[in-house]
Each structure stands twice: as C-alpha cells, then as structure tokens.
C-alpha cells in the first residue's frame, strides 16, 4: 500500500524570530509554502514500503535542513510557535474567503503546524472509520501546550484548531462520525460545500470566487479527509514533531491500515482492540471521550494510554515534546524564541541520529 508524509515546520532566524522560508521553497518540488508566511511543508512522494518512506523522508528533510543552514534559518518541530508577534497570512483568495466566513476565529489556524499521513485508498469505508477511531493517537505527538504564551491544553494545536477556529463550523474542522458508505461521506461534503457557499455569499463573496477557490473535495479541514491525490485517505490529527516520532507513528498507523484489509472491522462497545483477525473500534461517543483526554491530558491519561495500547501503539516508545516544554503558566516572547531555537537544534540532531 502506498503511503506518504507531509510535515509542517516553523521557520525562524538565528535569533528564534519567526521569518519567511525564502529560497527554502524554491529548490525542490517537495517543499511548499503554507498559507502563513513562517510555515513550510515537506511532502514525500508516495512510497510502497515503510522502509522506502523512512529513507525518503529523512533524505528530503536532511537536504532541507542543509539548505536552511545555508540561509541562516532554523526549522522548528512544534505544534504552535509558543508565543510570537502577529503571524502574517500569505495573500490568497482562498484564505481571504475563509477569513470573511470564520471571522476573527480564522486567526487561530495561523498558529498550527501539523503532520499529515496519506494512505492509498482501498477499503475506503473501513479506512475512514478506523482512522477516526485512531484520532486519540494525536496525543502521541503533542508538541506544544502553549498558545500566545499561555497554557491551553496538552495538545494546544488540536485545541485551538478544533475548538476555536471552527467553533461555529464544527463539521468543517472537527472529527466526523463513522459512515456506512463512501457515498454517505461524499454527500456530507456536498452539503458542507453548499452551507459554506451560502455563508460566504452572506458575507459578500461572489459565487464565482467561491467556486474558483473551493470544491466539495477541499471544503473541510477535518482530521480525516479523502483526497484525489494518489488517491488517498489522509489522517491529519497529530502535531508536527521530531522525525523519529513522526516515523514511529507513520509505521504504527500504517500497520493498522495494512491489517484492516485482512481483518474484520467491527464497531462495538467503548474499549477498542486490534487482534490478529479483527479490529474492534469503539462507539463514536467513546472515541470523542478519548479525543478530549488526548487534547487536554495527553498520554498522562491512564484511560487514553490503555486505549492506545489496545489499538496497537506502544505508548512508552513515544516521547511527546509537550512533556518537556510544559510547566509554566506563561512563556514570554523571549523565552519562546529560546525554546524554538532549542527544538530546532533537536530536529537537526534527531535527523543526524536517524541517518547515521
């Protein structure tokens, strides 16, 4: 099964101040600008095996870090920038429309950096449902508890993105319930596209501009999405983090995705379990409870950690960066710059350790 990784990283200068990527997004088709100026995204091509995905991701990231060194820039693997001044939005009609519709809440999205895992479409209904049930595994990569310097949750990115940015449009940015068919998923997309179009037109956006910038396939920013590229099912739940952590999660989730093609998928109870011949996912309300624990408590929650262990994750092998950063009620901008530089250095050392 083909799979790929997309990882977003903050770009800072030698003082830890957020800055634009400049030439970092010009040398390779695998590196792209994001919708805010100090963020870039590294994208691997589809890979058939995990070994190929691992080597490709590390080679691309190592090259990107070398380019950053040449430009006196540093990449930072944190889910939020901790604390910073205003974050500049890159001009685009798509972003302009979102800002008109979401209002001030759209600003929350400017503080979020995540990891996206893509898996080749096969048993798509089972893939959608199982990935939804794995949403609580976001806790394994929680990498910042801070938003604008203040502690908000163990996973600040997930909290501000889901609870704040899409507070008034929950189905556009929060986890969806299980589906019985792919057609049910696609009909939901059509309804949400129509509702977003209506909201946009109420804010004075022309129908022509909406149709030019959005489609039913890209109208949602949910933790699980269907994508036309490759084509894939995309899992967008976790923060960005160190590559050792991203690769561990990619392998664990990929193993479950491979397994579901040979196992019965059943929705039952509130515990969940992956066995040799069956994947039992909890009722959706139970998943939402685990998600809340993942966002607010992270892997420090015994109930969440037990759930993730039953679903096939060795929780003890993960080291969420939030653990190491947390502890202060408030982080000043100067302290945030120091933290960003510290974790930029950790990113470089992590890649070196993985390559050698």
- At 148-205, the pLDDT tens digits run 999 999 999 999 999 999 999 999 999 999 999 999 999 999 999 999 999 999 999 9
Q: Which backbone phi and psi does 323 adopt, to 5 degrees? A: -55, -40
Write out 170-190 in H/E/C secondary structure: HHHHCCCCCCCCHHHHHHHHH
User: What value does the mean pLDDT of the chain take?
Assistant: 96
SS3 content of the chain, % helix, strand, coil (to 5): 50, 15, 35
Given pLDDT bands bounded at 50, 70 and 90, which one contains residue 229? confident
Query: What mean pLDDT is predicted for residues 280-304?
Result: 98
Q: How is residue 323 written in tokens?
A: 């653990």
- At 82-92, the pLDDT tens digits run 999 899 999 89
Range of the domain at 301: 3-355
Query: What mean pLDDT is predicted for residues 128-155?
Result: 98
Query: What mean pLDDT is predicted for residues 99-112?
Result: 94
How far is Cα 233 from Cα 341, in angstroms, rounded to an integer?
34
Instruction: Count how many domains the chain has.
Output: 1
Exposure of 146 by Cβ count < 10 A (0-12 exposed, 13-18 middle, 19+ buried)? buried
Q: What CATH number corresponds to the domain at position 139?
A: 3.30.590.20
């Amino acid at each position: 099964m083909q799979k790929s990784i997309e990882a977003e990283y903050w770009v800072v200068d030698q003082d830890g101040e957020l800055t634009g990527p400049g030439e970092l997004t010009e040398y390779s088709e695998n590196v792209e600008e994001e919708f805010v100026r100090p963020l870039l995204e590294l994208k691997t091509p589809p890979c058939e095996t995990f070994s190929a995905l691992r080597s490709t991701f590390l080679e691309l990231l190592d090259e990107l870090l070398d380019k950053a060194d040449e430009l006196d820039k540093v990449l930072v693997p944190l889910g939020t920038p901790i604390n910073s001044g205003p974050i500049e939005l890159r001009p685009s009609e798509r972003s302009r429309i979102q800002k008109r519709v979401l209002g001030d809440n759209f600003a929350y999205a400017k503080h979020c950096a995540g990891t996206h895992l893509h898996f080749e479409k096969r048993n798509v209904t089972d893939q959608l449902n199982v990935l939804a049930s794995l949403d609580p595994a976001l806790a394994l990569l929680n990498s910042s508890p801070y938003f604008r310097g203040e502690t908000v949750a163990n996973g600040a990115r997930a909290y501000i993105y889901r609870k704040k940015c899409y507070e008034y449009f929950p189905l556009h940015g929060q986890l969806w319930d299980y589906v019985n068919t792919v057609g049910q998923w696609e009909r939901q997309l059509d309804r949400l596209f129509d509702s977003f179009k209506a909201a946009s037109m109420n804010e004075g956006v022309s129908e022509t501009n909406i149709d030019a910038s959005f489609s039913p396939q890209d109208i949602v920013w949910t933790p699980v999405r269907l994508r036309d590229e490759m084509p894939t099912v995309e899992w967008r739940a976790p923060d960005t983090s160190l590559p050792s952590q991203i690769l561990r999660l990619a392998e664990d989730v990929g193993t479950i995705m491979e397994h579901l093609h040979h196992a019965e998928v059943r929705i039952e109870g509130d515990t969940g379990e992956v066995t040799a011949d069956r994947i039992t996912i909890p009722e959706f309300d139970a998943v939402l409870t685990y998600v809340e624990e993942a966002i607010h408590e992270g892997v420090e929650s015994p109930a969440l950690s037990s759930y993730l262990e039953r679903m096939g994750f060795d929780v003890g092998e993960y080291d969420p960066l939030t653990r190491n950063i947390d502890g202060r009620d408030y982080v000043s901008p100067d302290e945030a710059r120091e933290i960003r530089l510290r974790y930029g250095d950790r990113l470089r050392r992590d890649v070196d350790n993985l390559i050698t």
